[in-house]
Amino acid sequence: MSEQPDPQRLAALENRIDALKKTQEETPPMESHHSMASAAWRMVTELVAGLAIGFGVGWGLDTALGTTPFLMVLFVLLGFVAGVRVMIRTAQEIQEQRIMAEKSVPETQADITATETTRK
């Protein structure tokens, strides 16, 4: 065995390293922890807003009509349902954005490695 490195193998290795570096630089940044936290706060705010609006409308109608807290309970439940529906819509929107972001990434490092092993 010779102690000299094979220049062709070294050149091929350098090309593979350069290709991997280029793919890592071009990938867009994924959502950070802060963006996920802001999405969570948005969903909590939507739920609380639905409850608060339902409570306000129900209490106002109960006061104006002189009824028991029947309307307040009814509108709080309706506000809760509306808040949950808005939260679900927001979660679907976030999921669609994540799917679109994943589709925009051309290749991952695993794809490049798999392609190189099949070429050999």
pLDDT score at 36 = 81
Question: What is the CB neighbour count within 10 angstroms for residue 83?
Answer: 22
Residue with tokens 């705010």: 45
Tokens of 98: 């994540």
What CA–CA distance (Å, rounded) separates 40 from 19?
Answer: 37
Better-scored residue on pLDDT, 62 or 103: 62
Greater confidence (66 vs 101) lies with 66
State the pLDDT at residue 88.
Answer: 94
DSSP 27: S
Using a cut of 0.75, tell me whether the model's pTM lies above it.
Answer: no
Confirm if 54 and 79 have CB atoms less than 8 A apart: yes
